[in-house]
Amino acid sequence: VNFDATRFLGPIQFARFKDLEKRTIWGENVYRLTSTGDFARFVEIIEERGWVDLARPADVINFDLVREFYANAMHLDDEDPVTFKTMVRGREIRYDRDTINDFLGQPSQLPPDTYCAFTQSIAQGNWDISALTQSLLRPGHQLIWNTQKTYPVRAKKDDLTIHSQLLLHFTLHNVMPRSHTSDGTMKALQFMYYMENNLEIDIARVIA
């Protein structure tokens, strides 16, 4: 297979690029909200956490560059260690936690080898069902549980408060990209709860 070695690490990456050309790429959303409107609380959260660059990313996207980024980032073997490096137009691009934190203006001051409270809670699967329900859902609505009713799995977007729906929209478009946005997984809900209640989140590690 002929491929441009200045753009792709090998034929497998080029094939991945051609596959990505068939897919729709969803850009991040740009949130231009005022601090005095109905979504003042959302603006307050974003500004207090230093996430303005994340909420208002560049809205001009070169989709070919995006496809190169992801094509060259793919692993040839599932057992290969994650390098958090890729290549775009012959230049090495890093997307590890520290690089992302620097790009966003260093919103997290945690040491690189320290896991934030949010990341630890996800690893442990600690869901405070009552707190999540009270903080994020409309009165009278509940989380959706698995078939055996042994653990919660998600919440419908329509069951969330209007404010929580905005948090979900931000989470699924700018932090944990997901094409299915009609509900929130427990990880997304936990992230939203931590956002709302000013709990520790290393946003760069979450994205990386």
Question: Whole-angstrom Cα distance, residue 36 to residue 162?
Answer: 16
Question: Whole-angstrom Cα distance, residue 36 to residue 204?
Answer: 28
Tens of pLDDT along 123-147? 999 899 999 999 999 999 999 999 9
- List strand residue ranges (DSSP E) for 122-201, in order: 144-145, 152-156, 183-185
DSSP state of 193: H
Q: How far apart are the first and last CA of the chain?
A: 32
Tens of pLDDT along 159-194? 999 999 999 999 999 999 988 889 999 999 999 999
pTM of the model: 0.89
Question: Whole-angstrom Cα distance, residue 98 to residue 90?
Answer: 22
Residue with tokens 């520290």: 98
